[in-house]
């Protein structure tokens, strides 16, 4: 606290900043880059220097659980639980309709 204010401004720790031109070149879309850099990025798909996330599509595997399998053992493509609930609802509606038809007329 006894040091002068000018000493603190001179000796403060500054964050290192990168070259903004290089950073802007790395973040620019391929259409805005020069043709040489764009062609080299297109040719080498593993070049990580451009700042883009590159995924090799040949090594991607999808789990079997995510794939849609053949629809077998289903009626109209519905699960058995859905079919049971649907049957119960239709039976209840038929019962209520029968009860209404049995009511005496006034």
CB environment 43-78: b (16+ within 10 A), e (fewer): eeeeeeebeeeeeeeeeeeeeeeeeeeeeeeeeeee
Instruction: Show the CA angle centred on residue 102, arms to residues 100 and 106, nearest 5°.
Output: 90
Q: Is residue 11 part of a domain?
A: no
Greatest alpha-carbon pair distance for the chain in Å reads: 104
Band of pLDDT at residue 103, cut at 50, 70 and 90: very high
pLDDT of 101 = 94
What pLDDT shows up at residue 38?
Answer: 47
The C-alpha torsion from 42 through 48 and 53 to 32, rounded to 10°, is: -50
* Number of structural domains found in the chain: 2
- pTM to 2 decimals? 0.35
- The whole-number average pLDDT for the span 13-30 is 74
> What gap in Å lies between CA 49 and CA 63, rounded to an integer?
31
Give a yes or no: residue 3 inside a domain: no
Residue 4, in any domain of the structure: no
Does 63 fall in a domain? no
Q: Which domain holds residue 106?
A: 73-106
pLDDT tens digits, residue range 33-85? 766 654 555 555 455 555 677 777 787 787 877 777 666 667 777 888 999 99
**77 plus 106 within the same structural domain:** yes
Is 59 within a domain? no
Q: pLDDT grade, residue 106 (50/70/90)? A: confident
């Amino acid at each position: 606290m006894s040091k002068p204010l000018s000493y603190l401004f001179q000796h403060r720790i500054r964050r290192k900043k990168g070259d903004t031109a290089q950073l802007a070149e790395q973040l620019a879309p391929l259409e805005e880059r020069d043709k040489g850099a764009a062609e080299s990025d297109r040719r080498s798909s593993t070049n990580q220097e451009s700042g883009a996330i590159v995924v090799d599509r040949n090594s991607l595997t999808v789990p079997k659980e995510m794939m849609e399998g053949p629809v077998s053992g289903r009626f109209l493509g519905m699960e058995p639980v859905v079919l049971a609930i649907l049957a119960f609802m239709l039976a209840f509606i038929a019962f209520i309709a029968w009860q209404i038809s049995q009511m005496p007329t006034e």
